[in-house]
Amino acid sequence: MREQFIEIFNEHVKREGASQLLSWLQRTDFFTAPASTRFHLAQEGGLCLHSLNVYRRLCQNPQAAAEYSPETLAVCGLLHDICKADFYAVSTRNVKNEQTGQWEKQPFYTVNDQLPYGHGEKSVYIISGFMRLSREEAMAIRWHMGGFDDSVKVGSFALSGAFERYPLAVHLHVADLQATYLDEVRKDKFER
């Protein structure tokens, strides 16, 4: 996955500062981190896989692919969750082994947020420290969580303004939802 991510990034992202951003990513846990603590892709390498899945979904959207450059699709799809680099930690808890009756230490992921700046806005902040984003790219990354964003939950109406003015934000949000709920669902958890 790491190699695929780097190959796509290097092929499409050519703007000034891109190589420095990629070098920074390689010094973080981005390629080994989970995508979440217990939901979609809560596994080693889940964050990189999720980023690739969102990028692919975004590229498969005919309207997005026709309206935006391959570079914009790569920037938004691959980097929307860059805020999760160095965000998780591994801890342990005691879990009873039902077969043996013994308590065993089991690892699990926890949040260790070193830069509590929000979700989408933190990704925009980190990327902007290395390379310039267009306004539409910044809005798409900032609002990729849609109605799941904390500011929306407390009553902000900025999301609807962003979605009305910047269609890329809608496309990225939909790609994120598709990747999360269609491509990455844990089938064992939802057997019927």
Contact present, 137 and 168 (Cβ < 8 Å): yes
pTM of the model: 0.88
Distance between alpha carbon 71 and the CA centroid of its chain, in Å?
17
E-strand spans in the chain?
Answer: 88-96, 103-111
Name the band, by pLDDT with cuts 50, 70 and 90, for residue 186.
Answer: low
State yes or no: pLDDT of 192 exceeds 70: no
Residue 116: its pLDDT value, please? Answer: 85
pLDDT tens profile 45-94:
999 999 999 999 999 999 999 999 999 999 999 999 999 999 888 888 89
Question: Token digits for 90?
Answer: 């591994």
pLDDT tens profile 118-166:
889 999 999 999 999 999 999 999 999 887 887 877 778 888 888 999 9
Contact present, 79 and 51 (Cβ < 8 Å): yes
Q: What angle do CA 49, 74, 31 make, to 5 degrees?
A: 30
Residue 112: its pLDDT value, please? Answer: 86
- How far CA 1 is from CA of 46, 61, 77, in Å, comes to 10, 22, 15
